[in-house]
Amino acid sequence: MAVNSTVVLTLILLVLMFGAGVTSSVLGFTTGREALKGTTQPDVRPNNYAGTGKQGTVASKDQVSILKETDILKTVKARVEGREPEKTTDRANTKPATAKKPAAQKASAKFPLNSRDGGVTLEVSAASQRGNSMLLDVSMKNEGSQAVRFLYSFLNVTDDRSRALSATAEDLPAELPANGQVYYGTVSIPTALLENAKEVSLTLTDYPGQKLQLQIAGIPVAK
């Protein structure tokens, strides 16, 4: 049976077209794979950062880091001005340095404080606050050869700012006998006069001769 030449030619053309299509597909696939080699899909899984509070895995070298627009503008400006751009830091993860609190200062115990002149001793053994007054516990003794008189209105009290303060002496003898006996009393100072004061000083002299100078400085103010 004779074969129609037209049919044969048609089949040959179909085979050639099919072969050309397959060859083109293979070449296209191969070329595309070579072009995309080294390109990976970015890791956008939510469990890298969320919920754990820890930083996720380190990005691979092929991944591109995204810069902030402000950082880019700063870098461009620095390049235009001919200087090195500042290095950016992650402010979100930078914790401010915690300032150290200064250690609480406590006044050292300075008592007793005393002054001696002509055989007479004046001593302050303690300071305390009671109501609206600061009370100083004081004592006096005379180891001299004769009695000494005092007028306590002459008691001079000043603070560390050289301000004169009003003070009242109680239970101290007007005449201190020369027997070496210790006499106790108090000196009361209104706390309203001690604003911002840290220390006070006492000065007392005898009356009327004013030959003795009993002076005690650096008495801490009771708080």
Q: Specify the CATH number for the domain of residue 134.
A: 2.60.40.1230
Q: How many domains are there within the chain?
A: 1
Domain contains 131: yes
| Residue spans of alpha helices (H) in the chain | 5-35, 69-80
pTM comes to: 0.51
Q: What rounded mean pLDDT belongs to the chain?
A: 79
Condensed to tens digits (0 to 9), the pLDDT of residues 13-26 reads 888 888 888 888 87
Contact indicator for 187, 202 with CB cutoff of 8 Å: yes
Largest CA-CA distance found in the chain, in angstroms, rounded: 169
Contact indicator for 212, 115 with CB cutoff of 8 Å: no
Domain contains 124: yes
Instruction: Provide the residue range defining the domain that includes 190.
Output: 113-220
Range with the poorest average pLDDT among 1-10, 19-28, 184-193: 1-10
Output phi, psi for 194, to 5 deg: -100, 20
Contact indicator for 60, 40 with CB cutoff of 8 Å: yes
What confidence tier does 86 reach under pLDDT thresholds 50, 70, 90?
low
Which 8-state DSSP code applies to residue 20? H
Domain contains 121: yes
- Which tokens in the block code for residue 57? 């895995």
The DSSP result for 55-94, as a single string, is --PPPPTTSPPPPPHHHHHHHHHHHHTTSPPPPP--GGGP
Domain contains 144: yes
Domain contains 27: no
pLDDT at residue 87, as a whole number = 60
Domain contains 136: yes
Domain contains 98: no
